[in-house]
Structure 1
Amino acid sequence: MEAKCVKYYDFGNPQDVLTIENRHIQNPGAGEIFVRMITRPINPSDLIPIYGSYSHRISLPVIPGYEGVGVVEEVGPSVPKELLGRRILPLRGEGTWQEYVQAPAELAILIPDTIDDFTAAQLYINPVTAWIVCTKILQMQPGEFLLVNACGSSIGRIFAQLSNILGFKLIAVVRKDLHIKELLELGATYVINTSESSLVNEVREVTNGRGVTAAIDSVGGQDGLELAYCLQPNGNFLSIGLLSGKPVDWKKISPLANVKLFHLRHWNQKVSVKEWHYTFNQMISFISEKRLTLMTPCNHYDLMHVKEAVRAVQSHDKNRGKVFLNS
Structure 2
Amino acid sequence: MKAKVIRYYRFGEPNEVMCIEEKELVPPGPGELAVRMCARPINPSDVIPVRGAYPHRTLLPAVPGFEGVGVVEAVGPGVSNQMLGRRVLPLKGENTWQEMVRTLDRNAIIVPDDINDQSASQIYINPITAWLICTDILHLTYGDTLIVNAGGSAIGRIFAQLSKILGFRMIALTRNDSHTAELYRLGAVSVVNTMEELLQERVAELTEGRGANAAVDCIGGADGEQLVSCLRPHGTVISVGLLSGISPLWHEMTHGTQVNVKLFWLKHWVERCSQERWEQVFNEVIELVREGRLLMANIGATYELANVKQAIATAESSIEGKVLLLS
Q: Would you call these one fold, judging by a TM-score over 0.5?
A: yes
Residue of structure 2 equivalent to 1:222: 222
* Pairs within 5 Å for 1:96-107: 96-107=96-107
Residue of structure 1 equivalent to 2:265: 263
2:297 is equivalent to residue 295 of structure 1: yes
Distance (whole Å) between structure 2 residues aligned to residue 66 and residue 221 of structure 1: 24
Residue of structure 1 equivalent to 2:133: 133
Distance (whole Å) between structure 2 residues aligned to residue 302 and residue 44 of structure 1: 19
Residue of structure 2 equivalent to 1:283: 285
* Pairs within 5 Å for 1:25-36: 25-36=25-36
Residue of structure 2 equivalent to 1:313: 315
Distance (whole Å) between structure 2 residues aligned to residue 247 and residue 306 of structure 1: 27
Distance (whole Å) between structure 1 residues aligned to residue 117 and residue 91 of structure 2: 15
* Pairs within 5 Å for 1:154-303: 154-250=154-250, 251-256=252-257, 257-303=259-305
Distance (whole Å) between structure 1 residues aligned to residue 3 and residue 191 of structure 2: 46
Distance (whole Å) between structure 2 residues aligned to residue 310 and residue 225 of structure 1: 28
Aligned residues: 325
Q: Deviation string for 1:150-209 (max 9, x for gaps)?
A: 111000000000000100000010011011100000000000000100010100001110
Instruction: Extract structure 1 runs of 4+ deviating beyond 3 A.
Output: none
State the AA in 1 paired with 2:93. G
Matched residue SS, 2:215: strand
State the AA in 2 paired with 1:223. D
Superposition TM-score, scaled by structure 1 size? 0.98
Q: Deviation string for 1:37-84 (max 9, x for gaps)?
A: 111000000001100111112221111110000000101111111111
| Structure 1 position 298, deviation (Å) | 1.1
Distance (whole Å) between structure 2 residues aligned to residue 22 and residue 316 of structure 1: 32
Distance (whole Å) between structure 1 residues aligned to residue 224 and residue 34 of structure 2: 41
Residue of structure 1 equivalent to 2:66: 66
| Structure 1 position 219, deviation (Å) | 1.1
* Pairs within 5 Å for 1:101-116: 101-116=101-116
State the AA in 2 paired with 1:277. E
Gapped regions of structure 1 (runs ≥ 5): none
Matched residue SS, 1:260: strand
Distance (whole Å) between structure 1 residues aligned to residue 256 and residue 78 of structure 2: 53
Distance (whole Å) between structure 2 residues aligned to residue 98 and residue 144 of structure 1: 42
Distance (whole Å) between structure 2 residues aligned to residue 91 and residue 254 of structure 1: 39
| Structure 1 position 223, deviation (Å) | 1.1
| Structure 1 position 254, deviation (Å) | 4.4
| Structure 1 position 259, deviation (Å) | 1.7
Gapped regions of structure 2 (runs ≥ 5): none
Distance (whole Å) between structure 1 residues aligned to residue 157 and residue 165 of structure 2: 13
State the AA in 1 paired with 2:260. N
Distance (whole Å) between structure 1 residues aligned to residue 219 and residue 285 of structure 2: 25
State the AA in 1 paired with 2:321. G
Matched residue SS, 2:163: helix
Distance (whole Å) between structure 2 residues aligned to residue 218 and residue 132 of structure 1: 15
Distance (whole Å) between structure 2 residues aligned to residue 194 and residue 12 of structure 1: 30
Root-mean-square deviation (Å): 0.9
The range that moved more, 49-58 or 208-217, is 49-58
State the AA in 2 paired with 1:281. N
State the AA in 2 paired with 1:286. L
Superposition TM-score, scaled by structure 2 size? 0.98
Q: Deviation string for 1:76-99 (max 9, x for gaps)?
A: 111111111100000111111111
Residue of structure 2 equivalent to 1:78: 78
